[in-house]
Amino acid sequence: MVRGLIAEALELPPDVIGDGDRLLGDLHLNSLRVVQLAAEAAERTRRAVPAAPPLFAEATVGAFVQAIEELPAAEGETGSQGPPEGVREWHRVLVEFTRPVEVDAEPASCTWRVFGGGRLRALVEPRLTALPEQDARPAVVAFLPEDPDDRAIDALLEAAHLAVDTGAPFTVVDSGDTASGFAGTIAAEYPSLPVRWIRALEAAPADAIGALLAASWQGHAEIVVDEDGRIGTPAYRAAGPAQTGRAPDAAPPLSAGDVLVVTGGGKGIGFASASFLARRWGVRLGLIGRSGPDGDAELRDNLARLREAGVEFCYQPADVTDPESLHRGVAAIVDRLGPVRGVIHASGLNRPARFGEIGAAWAEHAAPKHHGLRALLGAVDAGACGCSSPSAP
């Protein structure tokens, strides 16, 4: 039955699907579809809907079937459980504050391998080499500017690979807020590697950062340094209405008839979000993706579902990594539906991988996600001010 469901989703005969086929890597299902299939399979077999189905690219059909078979029986009447509630209850707007942190006063003696660039590196690096070197142990530090370009990210990855390969303690000095998640991921995947993320504004005193780098630490540490050299560890609490600027009973940010542009909106999580908001708020959708409905069955089916639901939308083929193509796509949406009132940027590659598997391919992921978002905001701004050419101011 589970294999039949997968075959149905792929519009393939069940016998061409092998146990060893990978759900994402070989069959090109996206992770959202896998979650939906797992929920559907669990309901049909009267098992508890799984909170965390197998999502990694290497998960095979055989492993998926086995995971469904191993689910416990559903409680109560069949079907009464329904699909999982989703993540709404987990969603909070958080505000950051700083907790005091103790730093080891005894400096560790290190031979530093320094990566990255920028003002802080220029100021801090001489202080590092001034430390005594006898019995020094290797350590790796990467400096990231506030708004890193692809070269800076290359340097960060090179530094992290060196740390992981040699077991040298790894520090990122981040002048923005780019790499806290990255450092946290490295710490989670390599639990025995000391990993430290230091957020230091460009204006932070180099002496304070130098002293902090010299101090030893254990495990995963996060430290912020302010302009006066004060240090702390970041912590988060739920924001109240005054901090979010929205009362709990405030009207939705978009109203019926408003135009919402959704990149990646024809498939996957982008489509799921767009169709939900169209039904919930009555917004009109400008959907963007590279494929056309003629050559892509998933896209064709999704657009048909929107039509059946009476949603007003237009779909424009455009590549978010190509600003001119995106500009033309957004301009066509504005011509057809009117000015853009909101955007969801969901175009991206969904190929989860561990750090050790990530090589130069990271740039393929960054292109639609990171650079695509900049291009989208540029295209929407140009559209909003009535400009029609990508080179217009």
Ligand X SMILES: NC(=O)c1ccc[n+]([C@@H]2O[C@H](COP(=O)([O-])OP(=O)(O)OC[C@H]3O[C@@H](n4cnc5c(N)ncnc54)[C@H](OP(=O)(O)O)[C@@H]3O)[C@@H](O)[C@H]2O)c1
Binding region for ligand X (CB under 6 A) = 30-32, 263-264, 266-270, 288-291, 319-321, 346-350, 368-369
Q: Of 19, 25, 7, 15, whose CA–CA distance to 61 is shortest?
A: 19
Return the SS3 of 39. helix
Q: Which is nearer to ligand X, 113 or 300 (CB)?
A: 300
- 241 HSE (CA, 13 A, CB side): 5
Q: How far is the CB of 376 from ligand X (least distance, A)?
A: 10
Q: Which is nearer to ligand X, 94 or 235 (CB)?
A: 94
Q: How far is the CB of 231 from ligand X (least distance, A)?
A: 33
Return the SS3 of 166. helix
Q: How far is the CB of 289 from ligand X (least distance, A)?
A: 3
Q: How far is the CB of 151 from ligand X (least distance, A)?
A: 21
What count of other Cβ atoms lies within 10 Å of the Cβ of residue 236? 10
Q: How far is the CB of 150 from ligand X (least distance, A)?
A: 16
Q: How far is the CB of 84 from ligand X (least distance, A)?
A: 13
Q: How far is the CB of 105 from ligand X (least distance, A)?
A: 42
Which amino acid does the sequence have at 18?
G
- 205 HSE (CA, 13 A, CB side): 8
Nearest residue by C-beta to ligand X? 268
What is the 3-state composition of the chain as percent helix, strand, coil, each rounded to the nearest 5? 40, 20, 40
Q: Kindly give, in sequence order, each residue whose CB lies less than 8 Å from that of residue 34, ignoring residues fewer than 6 positions away.
A: 23, 24, 53, 54, 55, 59, 64
Q: How far is the CB of 83 from ligand X (least distance, A)?
A: 14
Q: Of 339, 310, 325, 314, whose CA–CA distance to 371 is shortest?
A: 325
Residue count of the chain, please give it: 393
Q: How many Å apart are CA 379 and CA 335, to the nearest integer?
A: 13
| Per-position DSSP letters for 306-355, written without gaps between them | HHHTT--EEEEE--TTSHHHHHHHHHHHHHHH-SEEEEEE---------G
The CA distances from residue 254 to 142, 245, 376, in Å, are 41, 16, 19
Q: Which is nearer to ligand X, 199 or 267 (CB)?
A: 267
Q: How many Å apart are CA 384 and CA 233, to the nearest integer?
A: 41
